Amino acid sequence: MQTAVLLILTFTTLAAAAYTHYRVPYHTRNARNRWFVHFLLIIVGIAFGWVNSQRYPLNGLWELLVFLSSFGVIHIPAAAILFIKRQQKIEKHK
């Protein structure tokens, strides 16, 4: 049961990460800024994922799922902000 919950959490947070990296180009002025944002989010996500996966004495699938879900959690605030910005842009053009 706990593995299923962790799988759902992992897929949800990775979906937020994918959405964030998909929407970043629409909200940055140039390629340099876009690559900086991608790089920053990836580095912070990897660092947070590594710290959390090392914090708990887990092995195998659980360690991987903790790493991936922690990586994705970093992207949730950015995904929410980009979603709100997109909705505001849609409302503005109506």
% the chain with pLDDT above 70: 100
Confidence band for 36, pLDDT divided at 50, 70 and 90: very high
- If phi > 0 it is left, if psi is from -120 to 50 it is alpha, else beta; for residue 30 that is beta
For residues 62 and 7, what is the distance between their CA atoms, to the nearest angstrom? Answer: 9
Confidence band for 44, pLDDT divided at 50, 70 and 90: very high
Query: What pLDDT does residue 57 have?
Result: 80
